[in-house]
Amino acid sequence: MDKEYKTVLNHAVYEIDEKKSRFIASVKPVSTEDEAIRFINDLKSKYWDATHNVYAYYIGGINIIQRFSDDGEPSGTAGLPVLEVIKRMEVRDLVVVVTRYFGGTLLGASGLIRAYGKSASLGIEAAQIVRRKLCREITVILEYTLLGKVQSLLVSKGFLIKDVIYEQDVKITVFIPEDEVEAFINFITETTNAKAIVEMGQKTYVTLDLQGKVIK
């Protein structure tokens, strides 16, 4: 599992005009190739009267899957530029379909490359780029007398707090980056003079915006 990667959060549509041709970028986060293909086919049905439905998708992980199609545009002027934008923006697990309605003016090879690339880039930005960070869910159980001190330190150090449950004792659940787990446990032990109980949870990806704030 990758420690961190970038993807998009939402399904988004963004349209531009280039010399009277309409370019409609449709972007969606996906986790499998089947999802990407279904999305592409749905858009081909939706925009059945379009001149071209160009696409590219990139799915990361252990086995990287990347595909693109020019859908009738001159080779190398459409699908590949869209895929190159995905790579340049360093995002993965997404599919981008750029639909073109020809406006009567030929753009030439360089014009097509620019138009498809620009459309894909703006579509990806509209879908909101986010970070997915591999973390361990950890629950800290402590007495109420230690709550104020521990909670204040967790906030000041920027730890991602998932939940606080008030029962006989207080349970604070936090997300800790996988490579910082040992240091976090040592921090809790020192802060509470070994009076807290630390329970290890499962690994999970936490979604953050580009400023590092958790997106729920």
Domains present along the chain, CATH in parentheses: 4-127 (3.30.230.30), 131-208 (3.30.70.240)
Q: Model's pTM, two decimal places?
A: 0.86
Q: What's the chain's average pLDDT?
A: 94
Nearest partner of 51 among 87, 1, 104, judged by Cα: 104
Secondary structure of residue 81 in the 3-state scheme: helix
- The residue behind tokens 């620019």 is 114
> Do the beta carbons of residue 26 and residue 99 sit within 8 Å?
yes
Which of 41-45, 162-166, 207-211 ranks highest by mean pLDDT? 41-45
Helix ranges (DSSP H) in the chain: 33-46, 79-88, 108-126, 144-156, 181-191
User: What number of other Cβ atoms are within 10 A of residue 142's Cβ?
Assistant: 21
Phi/psi of residue 145, nearest 5 degrees: -65, -20
Q: Tell me which amino acid residue 91 is.
A: V
Give me Rg for the CA atoms of the chain. 23
pLDDT in tens, 105-161: 889 999 999 999 999 999 999 999 999 999 999 999 999 999 989 989 998 888 888
Q: How far apart are CA 19 and CA 46, in angstroms?
A: 23
Residue 216 has pLDDT above 70, yes or no: no
Q: Tell me which amino acid residue 211 is.
A: Q
